[in-house]
Chain A
Amino acid sequence: MSEIVHNGPTDATQARGQAYSGDPDGDADAPAVQHLPLDAWHRARGGRMVEFAGYHMPVQYEGVMAEHLWTRENAGLFDVSHMGQLLFTGEGGADPARALEALLPGDIAGLGEGRMRYSLLLSEGGGILDDLMVTRRADGIYMVVNGATKYDDLGWLRENLADDITINHMDEQALLALQGPKAVDALQRLVPGVADLTFMKAAAFDWNGIPLWISRSGYTGEDGFEISVPASAAATLADALTEQPEVKPIGLGARDSLRLEAGLPLYGHDLDEDTTPVMADLGFALSKRRREEANFMGASRILLEREQGPVVKRVGLLVEGRQPVREGAAVVDGDGNEVGKVTSGGHSPSLNGPIAMAYVPAAMAAPGAAVTLAQRGKVHQAIVTPMPFVPHRYHR
């Protein structure tokens, strides 16, 4: 028996974190795989560690399926400390929100304190360099970016922001996500007041003298929270959370299947520099004021594409039969020509069948359209389906 294909989170090729130009190691060979603040904590709990985004990370504890279903019914604790936490401040009256608007298509200046939004870092050609979360805090603009891209992002941001904008890479902070319908019960018990947050709102809290920055957000489609905590206190907090009866630690495997069911794209798989927000069906990230101003990176290409419609589009697929169709499978037309690509795919534990995301020609992108997929010499039939595959249950 030998493995022939992996799903995303166990794929070492995702670990593309590159030293950015300011790194004293310069362009050393492949950077050494790093350890998370909770490395020993994961290993002590039976986490099976794999390399992901340049870090050793737990892909599973008791099993992907059980962890996935536990999160949908209870609460799962995810270590997402590999992600980049950045804080932007301005000197001499410079406004970091306005400065960032040159690079992101979202309304950042209009964010009230404690409000957050999903946005995209765009190239000059309108391609997606990263997807991220931006929040206005009292002390600046806080941004969470993907782990595999954070050093490239830092380089790009530094290069494209004026010198009066300071970027603080908060690499002394760990990031935990608590996700699931019972997350609020568990966290409210430890940190009274978090239940008052609604979806996409955030605030500072104190837990036994430890400062926490908590948002009501996440990437599973469930209600839940993301908690920025000093790395030195991360294990204490993770212990306190997993002592709650609703909470179990969850690995990357279930994180991937949960976000796939929720229809949420994964950077480096469903999004990359060759895809635009319009192709990726992320039009909601193009704020109205910003579209009218048309002054963000890549605006001319993106706004034209928005008007004319994209040539290809990201869609959800329900695959017939039981066999998973995974990233890299081809979308083929009636003559067997490749016309698109599956960018994520696998077994949906909640639906008990295979689902996928793919880029297909606009003519095939309507819900209900039949699509043919080819994988390792075998043909599979699929139906275009509106996403999310499993309804979101955010606390609005």
Chain B
Amino acid sequence: MSRYFTEDHEWIDVDGDTATVGITDYAQGQLGDIVFVDVPEEGKELAKGDEAATVESVKAASDVYTPASGTVIEGNAELADQPGLVNEDPEGDGWFFKLTLSDTSELEELMDETAYAAFVSKL
């Protein structure tokens, strides 16, 4: 399984043609206390870069974009009652949605962990 990152601070874990998407630890730190997450419903078709979810902290509302195209298999239902999971475990239990990828070649444009760490260090 490999993990990729976007410049908008989403991560995507890929296992074959199935992927899980969330926001990075850096992103949750910037947002601060998260109080609401709206995740996409099963069956929703998303093209790379589409607004897929909304995350709201005490301070601001932000859109989350899908790093790759595909069909949503599941949104993380836990986040409805426990939006704070995104602060506590952003790259684990605080995942946003899973999808079936329609074009795995899109992943080639994303950063790997090392490249993302270098990207964040310059912000």
Binding site for B on A (CB under 8 A): 1-7, 9-10, 59-60, 63-66, 253, 257, 322-324, 326, 346-347, 349, 376
Contact = CB atoms under 8 A, between A and B. Distances in A.
B60 A5 contact: yes
Contacts of A347: 33, 35-36, 56, 58
B61 A3 contact: yes
B33 A1 contact: no
Contacts of A346: 58
Interface string B33-59: 101101000000000000000011111
Contacts of A10: 59-60
Interface of B: 8-10, 23, 27, 32-33, 35-36, 38, 55-65, 80, 83
10 contacts: A1-B23, A1-B55, A2-B63, A2-B65, A5-B61, A64-B59, A66-B33, A253-B58, A253-B59, A347-B36
A376 B56 CA distance: 13
Contacts, number: 69
Nearest to A59: B59
A4 B55 contact: no
Contacts of B56: 323-324, 347
Contact of A1 (B9, B38, B83): B9
Nearest to B58: A64
Nearest 9 pairs between A and B by C-beta? Answer: A65-B33, A347-B35, A64-B58, A323-B36, A5-B61, A1-B8, A3-B62, A322-B36, A6-B60
A60 to B, nearest CB: 7
B42 to A, nearest CB: 19
- Among A1, A326, A346, find the residue whose CB has the most chain B CB atoms closer than 10 A: A1
Instruction: Name the residue in B23, B35, B36, B55 with the highest tally of chain A Cβ atoms < 10 Å from its Cβ.
Output: B35
Contacts of A5: 60-61
